[in-house]
Structure 1
Amino acid sequence: MKKLVLAAALAGAASTATAGSMAEPIIEAPVIVEETTSSSSGVLVPLILLALVAAAVASS
């Protein structure tokens, strides 16, 4: 009797977990945010570091 009740409870839980509708799913378009920084700012920091390392090597 306990197994029958357990099986009925699991069957009921499984049927509600897989229930769905026939409506088309709503898919929202992704939002793209473009940064307004210039491309030279990405190169500026490595160039400064390179200059500092070159100055340190030249002074030693």
Structure 2
Amino acid sequence: REAQEEAYRLGLIPYIPADVPEPDPQPDPEKKIIKFPSGQNETPIPESAREPRDDSPTLFEGLED
């Protein structure tokens, strides 16, 4: 509580949270919760997004002599 009052006095917070009771959560009748099927979360990785093959010549190839 003292830390909150000091922060309020310094202008770091707009109010003292201990003085304001938290409202009880009220269910909103207009909210619609959509649940996705469990199999839909697993998306296949396209071939183009997979790890590229690194078999091309490099800048330092042949300098290892």
- Structure 2 length-normalised TM: 0.28
Which has the higher Rg, Structure 1 or Structure 2? 1
Higher relative contact order (CA 8 A, sep 6+): 2
- Structure 1 length-normalised TM: 0.29
